[in-house]
Structure 1
């Protein structure tokens, strides 16, 4: 079982809890209309970005997390909440004793050594008609393309400093994500790009909510350049 994590300086930092959380909430807002309750499995926990809105709908949430630091944070968030169950386990080793209306894989596939076999296992965790929601950063996002032109990486899909810091194993574009989901046997209902990110998080730190919302909307016109990809599958 994992007891420590990479990215120690990033998680719970001002950037992670600030601009990155604000922009991620916009992506989650796009996904949430596709979620089904009342039972939800949330793979991974740093903060309550997926769990809180699920609880607000009156749903029950199971959280799976391999990092003791993140587990402790989840226990602190939801101490005494009967609608939340927290499992300290690696994703690949988790064996649920129930099936779920929805499984959320929010930016976790990059950390899975063998994503297709893992995705096949997740199918067995879904109730009939249940849904898998997957989100991953888009390796061809506008800010990564610009970084490549500035010589920061040789290719937009190459690991940047943040990828290395948090231990990402791979980066995704929509073609790789589609291929893995189909190989795992899923029917893809939606596969979209979301939120145009033109600059680094640090450069966007003081942007207003109105400006961020504008880049969310313009991202709908430029999905191949968007910051995140999300897939809705059955």
Structure 2
């Protein structure tokens, strides 16, 4: 399975869209939220891909380790971040010799075959009082709900073109996202959403400017009452964020 998975990741990396369009803004905004919670001096980034968030992590942590399963990504990361320790391995095969104060799982858990098992392993890599910062796409995103009503998706959990292109295996809801962390024996300290997203990425990239995009990112965290008259919960937003630590 490991060799097949590495081949799969290498293939995906040759035409990845994470460094394009609205995806970049998504990653950078989630990093700004993570900043409120992460702890120094050491950080492990799991699944850096093109290294969008790595740019911020490399400036924030003096001790940065990256584990990435796709070799093409690793070769590029080594050139751009010479001070970071880059490991080209699947998470399942990774066995660090030290603990980390902060572990970043930015849009990773939707990719892996067994997310709970990955989280259980990740838990053992945390230093005392360490934190895991995680983000995933949200099945309850407004644009997904609209797509179901329009008959474009069978359900909110349907994989769209971008999901399939990037090798996603699932779309999380708030309930399933929380459940995986709890099943792994992790305590959720903070949970919420960001980016009120009414349209798909291609539509946003065609019609929105940077100011509009940033405004809707902020609306996701600080929704006004009229916006949520029927939706009501922040968990209906397009992205989910979690901060976790081991259960005592």
Q: Which stretch of the first structure deviates more once superposed, 48-57 or 121-130?
A: 48-57
User: 1:69 Cα deviation (Å)?
Assistant: 1.5
Secondary structure class of the residue paired with 2:102: strand
User: 1:211 Cα deviation (Å)?
Assistant: 1.2
Q: Contact 1:71/1:88 (CA < 8 Å) preserved in 2?
A: yes
Q: Which residue of 2 aligns with 1:224?
A: 235
Q: Contact 2:109/2:136 (CA < 8 Å) preserved in 1?
A: yes
CA deviations on 1:69-110 (whole Å, 9 max, x unpaired) are 2112212212xx33x000000011111111100111111111
Where do residues 48-87 of structure 1 align in structure 2 (5 Å cutoff)?
A: 48-78=51-81, 81-82=82-83, 84-87=84-87
User: 1:68 Cα deviation (Å)?
Assistant: 1.2
CA distance in 2, matches of 1:148, 1:156: 6
Q: Normalized per residue, which structure has more helix? A: 2
Q: Which stretch of the first structure deviates more once superposed, 108-117 or 186-195?
A: 108-117
Q: Which residue of 1 aligns with 2:156?
A: 156
CA deviations on 1:43-78 (whole Å, 9 max, x unpaired) are 012233322222222421101011112112212212
Q: Which runs of 5+ in 1 are unaligned?
A: none
User: 1:189 Cα deviation (Å)?
Assistant: 0.7
Where do residues 7-86 of structure 1 align in structure 2 (5 Å cutoff)?
A: 7=12, 10-11=15-16, 13=17, 16-78=19-81, 81-82=82-83, 84-86=84-86
CA distance in 2, matches of 1:165, 1:148: 20
CA, structure 1 residues 204+162, in 2 after alignment: closer, same or farther (shift >3 Å)? same
User: 1:4 Cα deviation (Å)?
Assistant: 4.6
- RMSD after superposition: 1.8
Where do residues 187-202 of structure 1 align in structure 2 (5 Å cutoff)?
A: 187-202=187-202
CA distance in 1, matches of 2:169, 2:183: 19
CA distance in 2, matches of 1:53, 1:117: 28
CA deviations on 1:28-54 (whole Å, 9 max, x unpaired) are 211221111111000012233322222
Q: Contact 1:26/1:216 (CA < 8 Å) preserved in 2?
A: yes
Q: Which residue of 2 aligns with 1:215?
A: 216
**How high is the TM-score relative to the length of structure 2?**
0.86
User: 1:8 Cα deviation (Å)?
Assistant: 5.2
User: 1:225 Cα deviation (Å)?
Assistant: 2.8
**How high is the TM-score relative to the length of structure 1?**
0.91
CA, structure 1 residues 8+67, in 2 after alignment: closer, same or farther (shift >3 Å)? closer
Report the count of equivalent residues. Answer: 229
CA, structure 1 residues 23+112, in 2 after alignment: closer, same or farther (shift >3 Å)? closer
Secondary structure class of the residue paired with 2:136: strand
CA distance in 2, matches of 1:29, 1:188: 19
